[in-house]
């Protein structure tokens, strides 16, 4: 049985991770709005808590594979803010020296092994990371995040079947935000829940309200424990909302008004704050956490702004182990 309570330190941890994601997202959006940044950015507004609670159930050296919409996952996993901001800004101080950008953040020290821009492609790769752990017996778990839309692509299917066949220590975290680009869930599949798919591979599958911090954390923790115990993979379908469209600035008039209203009512941030208050955290403590985070965001933005642009020689580096001749 999955737990239904949570300890206070863990809750504080989840709150901090959530707000780190939220404040970073807000910072990115403000940099974009003011023209200080001019890149494509897939905002994570609405999905902060899902990743915060999920990553709080992992260890720092567990592996993570995520997507273009992955800043919440990366930040919650622990990627330091300075190189993250610089990477998004395309600077040398970025995690990937500016070569990857927001769609391809990589940071092995915090376990972030791949961020992919191709829908569904992360799942097979996650299996491989998990396979290495299985063979080594290093006890690591791999988590791979993807959207609801990704569950209709071939790679999802092949990876799910293989993971279960080999009982790999991998967790498939489907962040079901009800849309894939402009297409609503009911317009891309006829099943009600992605959990049905887990059954098609004999895999354990659970559906959870991704905005319920306690449930989200405990469900993930249970899956992590199973994986570490060698009992195989789990699919978690975390229900959430994509509150600001597909990418920042994109029109989302195709969303019906009922959906927009429902979405607004389900904002995870006020709900989490209420949960914290219910758990006897003081307003002052919560505000202090946010204030500290905001200072970190300002520092990261500053770091990124001051980091130099990569020079053209970078194009010849990292294509192969040996540098390409000029």
Partner 1 sequence: MSAQITMTQAINRAIDEAMAEDEGVILLGEDVAAKQGGGVFKISSGLTEKYGEKRIRATPISEQAIVGACVGAALAGFRPIAEIMLMNFVTVAMDQIVNHAAKLRFMSGGQTNVPLVIRTTTGVGVGFGGQHSDMLEAWFAHVAGLKIVTPSNAADAQGLMRAAIACNDPVIFIENILCYGLKSDDPGPGHIVPLGKAAVTREGSDCSIITYGRTVLDALEIAGKLSEEGISVEVIDLRTIAPYDEATVTASVQKTGRAVVLHEAVKQYGTGAEIASRLNEKLFGKLKAPVTRIGGAFSAVPMANALEQAWIPNKDAIADAVRSAVNWKG
Ligand X SMILES: Cc1ncc(C[n+]2csc(CCOP(=O)(O)OP(=O)(O)O)c2C)c(N)n1
Is residue 40 a contact residue for partner 1 (CB under 8 A)?
Answer: yes
Q: Which long-range contacts (CB under 8 A, 24 or more apart) does 75-79 make?
A: 75/17, 75/20, 75/21, 75/24, 75/51, 76/17, 76/18, 76/20, 76/21, 76/48, 76/51, 76/52, 77/51, 77/110, 77/111, 77/112, 78/110, 78/111, 79/105, 79/107, 79/110, 79/112
Among 33, 200, 229, 265, the residue binding a second copy under the rule CB under 8 A is 200
Is residue 148 a contact residue for Mg ion (CB under 5 A)?
Answer: yes
Residues 240-279 that bind partner 1 (CB under 8 A): 251, 253-254
# residues contacting a second copy (CB under 8 A): 22
The residue of the chain with the least Cβ separation from ligand X equals: 147
Q: Which residue has the tokens 């209203």?
A: 261
Min dist. Cβ of residue 246 to ligand X (A)? 6
Closer residue to ligand X (CB): 118 or 288: 118
Min dist. Cβ of residue 47 to ligand X (A)? 8
Is residue 72 a contact residue for ligand X (CB under 6 A)?
Answer: no
Residues 104-133 that bind partner 1 (CB under 8 A): 104, 106-108, 113-114, 116-121, 123-133
Residues 151-180 that bind a second copy (CB under 8 A): 152-158, 161, 164-165
Distance CA 268, CA 270 (A): 6
Pairing outcome for strands 179-180 and 183-184: antiparallel
Residues 289-318 that bind Mg ion (CB under 5 A): none
Residues 167-206 that bind partner 1 (CB under 8 A): 180-183, 187-189
Is residue 183 a contact residue for a second copy (CB under 8 A)?
Answer: no
Is residue 287 a contact residue for partner 1 (CB under 8 A)?
Answer: no
Min dist. Cβ of residue 101 to a second copy (A)? 27
Cβ-based neighbours of 47, under 8 Å, separated by 6 or more:
69, 72, 175, 177, 210, 240, 241, 242, 268
Closest CA to 53 of 214, 290, 176, 174: 214
Is residue 66 a contact residue for Mg ion (CB under 5 A)?
Answer: no
Among 177, 218, 234, 296, the residue binding Mg ion under the rule CB under 5 A is 177
Q: Which residue has the tokens 């974009």?
A: 32
Whether the CB-CB separation of 304 and 310 falls below 8 Å is answered with no
Report helix angle 8-33 to 48-56, nearest 10: 140
Is residue 197 a contact residue for ligand X (CB under 6 A)?
Answer: no
Closest CA to 268 of 72, 109, 116: 72
Note the residues at the interface with Mg ion (CB under 5 A).
Answer: 147-149, 177, 179-180
Note the residues at the interface with a second copy (CB under 8 A).
Answer: 152-158, 161, 164-165, 187-191, 196-197, 199-203
């Amino acid at each position: 049985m999955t737990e239904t309570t949570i300890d206070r330190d863990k809750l504080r941890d989840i709150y901090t991770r959530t707000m780190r994601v939220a404040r970073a997202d807000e910072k990115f959006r403000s940099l974009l709005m003011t023209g200080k940044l001019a890149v494509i950015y897939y905002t994570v507004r609405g999905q902060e808590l899902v990743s915060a609670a999920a990553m709080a159930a992992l260890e720092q050296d567990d592996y993570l594979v995520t997507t273009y919409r992955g800043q919440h996952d990366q930040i919650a996993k622990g990627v330091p803010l300075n190189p993250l901001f610089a990477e998004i800004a395309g600077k040398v101080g970025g995690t990937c020296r500016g070569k990857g950008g927001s769609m391809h953040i990589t940071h092995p020290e915090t376990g972030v092994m791949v961020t992919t821009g191709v829908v569904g492609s992360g799942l097979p790769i996650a299996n491989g990371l998990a396979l290495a752990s299985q063979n080594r017996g290093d006890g690591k778990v791999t988590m791979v995040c993807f959207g609801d839309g990704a569950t209709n692509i071939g790679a999802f299917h092949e990876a799910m079947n293989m993971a279960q066949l080999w009982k790999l220590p991998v967790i498939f975290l489907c962040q079901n935000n009800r849309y894939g680009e402009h297409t609503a869930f009911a317009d891309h599949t006829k099943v009600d829940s992605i959990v049905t798919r887990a059954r098609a591979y004999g895999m354990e599958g659970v559906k959870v309200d991704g905005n319920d911090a306690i449930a989200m954390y405990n469900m993930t923790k249970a899956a992590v424990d199973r994986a570490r115990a060698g009992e195989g993979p789990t699919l978690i379908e975390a229900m959430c909302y994509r509150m600001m469209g597909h990418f920042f600035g994109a029109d989302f008039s195709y969303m019906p008004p009922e959906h927009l209203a429902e979405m607004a009512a389900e904002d995870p941030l006020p709900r989490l704050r209420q949960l914290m208050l219910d758990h006897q955290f003081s307003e002052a403590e919560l505000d202090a956490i946010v204030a500290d985070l905001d200072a970190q965001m300002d520092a990261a933005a500053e770091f990124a702004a001051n980091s130099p642009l990569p020079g053209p020689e970078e194009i010849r580096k990292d294509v192969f182990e040996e540098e390409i001749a000029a």
